[in-house]
Homo-oligomer: A and B are copies of this chain.
Amino acid sequence: MILHGYFRSSAAYRVRIALNMKGLLARQVSHHLRREEQRAPAYLALNPQGLVPTLITESGAVLTQSLAILEWLDETHPHPPLLPREPLARAHVRAFAYAIACDIHPVQNLKVLAEVRKLGGEDAAAEWARRVNQDGLDACEAMLKDWTGPFCFGAAPTLADICLVPQLVNARRFGADLSRWPKLTAIEAACKALPAFADAAPENQPDAE
């Protein structure tokens, strides 16, 4: 398999974690986002959104959108599972994952922050990024009201943890106050103790700067 990504992309980071959890190897191809390499015509032919990641499967199929890739990985390589078996439990895990993947991450990506910077300058962009992470993760902490740990939803990491850990990297980078989230940071610590998460971290990728 080939994973088109970038060390700092939260969405590519999610897929790296899942590949590691499943014990799958993928050759990484890096696209430097600030240099807009993801907008090159050859890459747009694979991924018309011009986003990373894209996963090329062993049969040559082209998969885009990190959450669709995660669900595909889970359906085709079921062990260990990324989702619980019971539909209600699956819905809670997915809701948490989407609270990050829909309502936080895309609202603070490079492209959106560049537009905010045009309107309000550097300070406005920094404040936007901090606030989107802080408000969004405040809600995530509140979504875990029945939390028992160590992971978001019980004894094993799921899609929820796979979305959370990369987002906390952004939250920290953008200056959010992490002491607001005792549950989320405890979960992060539990995840980081696992090789699947540690090996997927941005600083451990070949294209890390």
Contacts and interface: CB of A to CB of B under 8 A. Distances in A.
Interface of A: 44, 48-51, 57, 61, 63-65, 67-69, 71-72, 75-76, 87-88, 90-92, 94-95, 98-99, 101-103, 105-107, 112, 115-116, 119-120, 124, 128, 139, 142-143, 145
B49 A103 contact: yes
A75 B51 contact: no
Contacts of A116: 116, 119
Given A98-B68, A124-B119, A51 B91 contact: no
Contact of A102 (B69, B72, B76, B105): B105
A85 to B, nearest CB: 10
Q: Is the interface of A mostly helix, strand, loop or mixed?
A: helix
Given A119-B120, A142-B48, A65 B95 contact: yes
Given A48-B143, A75-B87, A101-B102, A95 B120 contact: no
A75 B63 contact: no
B119 A49 contact: no
16 contacts: A48-B145, A49-B139, A50-B139, A51-B103, A57-B88, A63-B91, A65-B99, A68-B94, A69-B91, A72-B87, A102-B102, A102-B105, A106-B107, A116-B116, A119-B120, A120-B120
